[in-house]
Amino acid sequence: MPIKVRATRMELLQFRKKAALARRGHKLLKDKLDELMRQFKILIKKYEGARSELEKELSIAYGEFLFARAAMTEPGLLDALRYPGAAAKVQTSKRKIMNLILPVFEVSVEGNVRNYGMFDTPVELDEALEVYKRILPRIVKLAEEEKAISLLAREIDTTRRRVNALEYKLIPELEEAIRSVRLKLDEMERGNLTRLMKVKEMVDEKREKNRA
């Protein structure tokens, strides 16, 4: 919807101020968008590498656990895992990227995961649980990166829409309003100049008649 304008110099000044402010805002938002995209690419690359490595280690742990499951009865396996000897602690904090608050998780695992008798449990169960203990902090860290990626993606989308609104809507509308006011003011000035010339001609004609 075009901006309604009035042909006054004050209106022209106001539109020029708004246009200058919109251009500054557009530049700031564009810089913010570029930085968000840079951080997003860094996170995506880091996340993909970490996830790939984690999936490889998890597949090994799953394989060891399946061997252990096949070598034991179901009640025996449940008894072995019933009372865990290790506990995981998660500490949370925050970090900022371009005024966007992202979560940070720090995980520590304390205790012995092998809280069962060694006589009736296979070595594959020991190895599987050790792998799980080792990679649990990395799983939580991966969840942290996934959340950060999600928040960054949402902020990038919001910022891009604002940049586009300024670039393709507000700034062009303000520029069109400035042109419209200028044209109207120029037309008014030409009209005033024409009237002044008419008055001058009339005055000159009257003087000539008086002299005659």
Tens digits of per-residue pLDDT, 10-19?
A: 888 888 899 9
Check which CATH number belongs to the domain holding 62 and give it. 1.10.287.3240
Residue 1 above 80 pLDDT? no
In a domain, 13, yes or no: yes
Name the phi and psi angles at 102, rounded to 5: -115, 145
Residues 6+ apart with CB under 8 A from 124: 64, 65, 67, 68, 71
In a domain, 93, yes or no: yes
Name the domain count of the chain. Answer: 1
In a domain, 4, yes or no: no
Q: What is the spatial distance between Cα 95 and Cα 103, in angstroms, rounded to a whole number?
A: 6
In a domain, 201, yes or no: no
Tens digits of per-residue pLDDT, 55-108?
A: 888 888 888 888 888 888 788 778 777 777 788 888 889 988 888 899 898 888
In a domain, 3, yes or no: no
In a domain, 111, yes or no: yes
In a domain, 67, yes or no: yes
Tens digits of per-residue pLDDT, 142-181?
A: 999 999 999 999 999 999 999 999 999 999 999 988 888 8
pLDDT at 5 (0 to 100): 63
In a domain, 76, yes or no: yes
CB-count burial class (<10 Å; 0-12, 13-18, 19+) for 139? middle
CB 9 within 8 A of CB 185: yes
> Which range marks the domain in which residue 140 is found?
9-194
Find residue 101's DSSP bridge partners: 96
Predicted model pTM: 0.73
